[in-house]
């Protein structure tokens, strides 16, 4: 049976960006095709026993003037823990590639039901959101490096990778955070260490470990003057609003990805650490700044990396992928969208979103609602650590109302946590819901799979529209909306790519 849930509709005007050609297309995975209908679905088609068990993407707008685009969704597909096919992992071919695991699969924690799991995820999300707002509200250009804040405890610990640290390599689980510029792990001797799943890394057992001196230019990225120096060593500190922290010395160390070793990576070696970090040894920062892993790779990776986020749900087999390097990570045929830099928060990847769509129709939302101001306010951040996409209240209300209007025939359910648009679909096997799209600068349009915006919130057949209003002008594209889509950051040239593969 064909798995239609692995299809994405990516539309954009024909353009060439840095040698990458993007054309209007319906992008399909290698193992799936898409059915394109030239007429609206009849009631018989919706109720037919021949309806596929997976998502059917209908791109009606290309063929019918005035038609509304719908997804035909089998609810068992949305309710099941997703198991996407991963992109080929080239780690054994001399390339930097890792499996990317969701924290539910990594932690081994058993939730009593789906609602319990959702509550915990949204609690983490609220903390992450508060961290982002606080960081953007108090950031100044000349503060960069004086305080290194990663946001791990604020909910960014959503996805994990396995990395070898030192020579010989000791495998460690590390949190992936696209909004951080620091790589750090717990180190012996530990004045204070939290519990992690692997033995704590011991620098004395690594032949490649070298402390960074205060006089090193690398230390200048983290400290102002001599304030970070102690006994000739460069000191770092990652602080959190709830009192959690990691403190230690900055060092150069070898990190191993599959069979590829990367030497002289600047990492924080934490000797005093406090917090609940789901067993991870530390964090792999993938932000846009010079101290992130991507920034340090420089010419080795060409400033590029790609990921496919695994599905939520805790299935141990549901793994995504993380790939570094321009040759491996930058796909041919992706749709490229320009990024914008915010000097108040140079770690974050801001994308130039200009509009929203429902059912193939662009909504009446002003472009300036999403604009990043010269003062560093507003804008749209792509973040792996935030689950639910947040939009300014006016944009969210317009999107929600349009979606609710197009689903007026479905029975509503009470609000659930931050979700105010929910449905009782316990009596349904399949439903039609309108498509939801992001419109980007340059004419590109990303139309989301249904599972990326209609999510189950309990085990009784209740589903909710997975967007929420922001409490500020900042918009955040969260990881629920990114799941299963190949996303590539070309940080060196300032673009983010979507597709052409799914995972």
Please compute the mean of the pLDDT values over residues 305-313 and round it to a whole number.
76
- Calculate what percentage of the chain has a pLDDT beyond 90: 38
Which residues form the catalytic set?
177, 383
pLDDT category at 320 given cuts 50, 70, 90 is confident
For residue 420, what pLDDT band results from cuts at 50, 70 and 90?
very high
Question: Does residue 503 surpass a pLDDT of 90?
Answer: no
3-state secondary structure of 410: coil
Res. 16: pLDDT tops 60: no
Measured distance CA(15)–CA(18) in Å, rounded = 10
What is residue 110's predicted lDDT score, i.e. its pLDDT? 53
Contacts of 465 (CB under 8 A, 6+ apart): 400, 403, 404, 419, 421, 422, 453, 454
Question: Could you tell me which residue, 345 or 19, shows the higher pLDDT?
Answer: 345
Question: Rounded to whole angstroms, how far apart are CA atoms 45 and 72?
Answer: 10
- pTM metric for this prediction: 0.75
Residue 225 in this model has a pLDDT that exceeds 60: no
Which pLDDT score is estimated for 77? Answer: 76
User: Could you tell me where the beta strands, DSSP code E, fall in 168-259?
Assistant: 170-177, 183-186, 210-211, 229-230, 233-239, 245-257
Confidence bin at 326 (pLDDT 50/70/90): confident
Which is higher by pLDDT, 229 or 133?
229
Confidence grade of residue 318 (pLDDT, cut at 50, 70, 90): low
pLDDT tens for 343-396 read: 888 889 999 999 999 999 999 999 999 999 999 999 999 988 788 899 999 999
Q: Which residue has the higher pLDDT, 60 or 332?
A: 332
Top pLDDT among 277 and 462 is at: 462
pLDDT, averaged across the chain? 74
Lowest mean pLDDT among 27-31, 405-409, 414-418, 471-475: 27-31
Over residues 153-182, mean pLDDT: 81
| Interacting residues of 433 by C-beta distance below 8 A, sequence separation 6+ | 70, 71, 73, 403, 406, 407, 410, 450, 454
Q: Where on the phi/psi map is residue 302: left (φ > 0), alpha (ψ -120 to 50), or beta?
A: left
CA dist., res. 493 & res. 491, Å (int): 5
Q: What is the mean pLDDT of residues 388-407?
A: 96
pLDDT on residue 95: 66
Give the ranges where 362-465 is alpha helix by DSSP (H). 393-406
Higher local confidence (pLDDT), 57 or 172: 172
Per-residue pLDDT band for 232 (boundaries 50, 70, 90) equals: confident
pLDDT exceeds cutoff 90 at 170: yes
What's the confidence (pLDDT) of residue 289?
Answer: 86
Q: Where are the beta strands (DSSP E) in 275-388?
A: 282-285, 304-308, 319-324, 335-340, 349-351, 353-358, 361-362, 380-382
- Work out the average pLDDT over 81-86: 43
Tell the burial category of 226 from Cβ atoms under 10 Å away from its Cβ (0-12, 13-18, 19+).
exposed
Is the Cβ–Cβ distance between 489 and 496 less than 8 Å?
A: yes
Q: Tell me: the pLDDT tens digits for 64-75? A: 234 689 888 888
Is residue 21 pLDDT above 70, yes or no?
no
* Alpha-carbon dihedral angle through residues 318, 27, 402, 42, given to the nearest 10 degrees: -100
Q: Which residue has the higher pLDDT, 222 or 106?
A: 222
Tell me if 256 sits within 8 A of 161, measured CB to CB. no
Asked if 470 and 396 count as a contact pair (C-beta separation under 8 A), the reply is yes
Identify the CA nearest to 249 among candidates 216, 290, 205, 279: 216
Query: Using an 8 Å Cβ cutoff, are 185 and 269 in contact?
Result: yes
Task: Return the higher-pLDDT residue of 149 and 338.
Answer: 338
d(CA 357, CA 382): 18
pLDDT, tens digit, 9 for 90 and up, residues 432-447: 999 999 999 999 999 9
Please tell me the predicted confidence (pLDDT) of residue 94: 55
Once rounded to an integer, what is the mean pLDDT over residues 13-26? Answer: 32
pLDDT digits (tens, 9 = 90+) for 97-132: 777 676 555 554 554 556 655 555 555 555 555 555
């Amino acid at each position: 049976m064909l798995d239609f849930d692995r299809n994405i509709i990516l539309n954009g005007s024909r353009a060439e960006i840095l040698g990458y050609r993007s054309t209007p297309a319906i992008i399909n995975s290698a193992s799936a095709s898409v059915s394109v209908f030239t007429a609206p679905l009849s009631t018989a088609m919706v109720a037919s026993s021949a309806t596929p068990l997976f998502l059917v993407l209908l791109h009606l707008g290309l063929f019918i003037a005035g038609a509304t685009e719908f997804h035909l969704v089998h609810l068992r597909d949305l309710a099941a823990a997703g198991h996407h096919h991963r992109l080929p992992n080239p780690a054994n071919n001399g390339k930097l590639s890792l499996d990317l695991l969701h924290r539910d699969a990594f932690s081994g924690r058993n939730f009593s039901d789906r609602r319990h799991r959702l509550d915990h995820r949204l609690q983490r999300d609220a903390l992450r959101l508060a961290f982002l707002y606080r960081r953007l509200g108090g950031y100044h250009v000349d503060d960069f490096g004086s305080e290194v804040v990663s946001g791990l405890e604020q909910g960014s610990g959503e996805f994990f990778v396995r990395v070898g640290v030192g020579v010989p390599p000791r495998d460690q689980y590390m949190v992936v955070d696209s909004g951080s510029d620091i790589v750090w792990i717990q180190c012996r001797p530990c004045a204070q260490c939290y519990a992690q799943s692997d033995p704590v890394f011991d620098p004395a057992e690594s032949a490649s470990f070298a402390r960074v001196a205060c006089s090193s230019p690398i230390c200048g990225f983290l400290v102002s003057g001599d304030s970070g120096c102690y006994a000739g060593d460069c000191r770092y500190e990652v602080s959190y609003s709830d009192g959690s922290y990691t403190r230690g010395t900055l060092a150069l160390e070898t990190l191993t990805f599959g069979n590829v070793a990367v030497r002289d990576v600047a990492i924080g070696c934490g000797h005093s650490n406090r917090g609940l970090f789901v067993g991870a040894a530390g964090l792999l920062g993938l932000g846009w700044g010079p101290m992130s892993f991507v920034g340090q790779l420089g010419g080795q990776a060409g400033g590029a990396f790609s990921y496919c986020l695994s599905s939520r749900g805790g299935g141990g087999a549901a793994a995504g992928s993380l790939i570094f390097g321009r040759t491996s990570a930058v796909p041919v045929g992706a749709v490229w969208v320009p990024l914008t830099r915010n000097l108040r928060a140079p770690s974050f990847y801001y994308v130039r979103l200009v509009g929203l769509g429902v059912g193939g129709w662009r909504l009446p939302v002003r472009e300036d609602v999403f604009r990043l101001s010269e003062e560093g306010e507003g804008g749209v951040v792509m973040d792996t650590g935030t689950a639910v996409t947040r939009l300014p209240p006016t944009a969210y209300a317009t999107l929600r109302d349009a979606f609710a209007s197009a689903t007026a025939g479905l029975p509503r359910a009470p609000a659930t946590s931050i979700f105010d648009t929910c449905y009782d679909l316990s009596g349904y096997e399949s439903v039609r819901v309108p498509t939801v799209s992001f419109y980007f600068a340059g004419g590109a349009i990303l139309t989301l799979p249904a599972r990326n915006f209609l999510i189950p919130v309990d085990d009784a057949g209740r589903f909710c529209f997975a967007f929420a209003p922001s409490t500020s002008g900042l918009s955040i594209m969260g990881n629920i909306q990114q799941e299963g889509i190949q996303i590539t950051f070309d940080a060196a040239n300032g673009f983010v790519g979507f597709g052409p593969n799914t995972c």
